Amino acid sequence: MTQLHLKVVSEATPDQVWDRISDFYSIHTWQPLMTATTPDPEHADARRMTLADGGTAVEQLIEQTGRSCHYRLLSGPVPVRDYEAVLAVHDNPQGAGALITWDATFEPEGVDEDTAVAVMTGILQTGLDALAR
């Protein structure tokens, strides 16, 4: 199982950052790679996201507690399977602002591990960078 651990610090407070991401169905309001999000009619607690390139992906909420969101990818145009991730907002241990972490596990599918890591890092880092602004 491949693991990613990405993080970024925002000048916003943890509560301000969490307010932006706490609604599982509003990822398109802060993730530049998504243009729309709707509930997925085929799966409970799932969102169907329209991607900037016109494709779609479906993710299902596993658990949301405190300031963290644990979810899995059900379908999408990425070279991975068994993808699960936790997006979390913490107090910044270095001082003011928020520490935002995005931890993911997955198995590469159809590509080597380095390629899968590069693709998934690009997607997650784009979202983290947007949240840090």
The CATH architecture of the domain made up of 2-23+63-132 is 2-Layer Sandwich (3.30)
d(CA 100, CA 98): 6
* pLDDT tens for the 133 residues of the chain, in order: 999 999 999 999 999 999 999 999 999 999 999 999 999 999 999 999 999 999 999 999 999 999 999 999 999 999 999 999 999 999 999 999 999 999 999 999 999 999 999 999 999 999 999 999 8
Which residues, at least 6 apart from 9, have a Cβ–Cβ distance to it below 8 Å? Answer: 92, 94, 97, 98, 99, 100, 132
pLDDT of residue 58: 99
pLDDT of residue 131: 96
Helices (H), the chain: 14-21, 113-132
- Any idea where the domains of the chain sit in the sequence? 2-23+63-132
d(CA 101, CA 88): 5
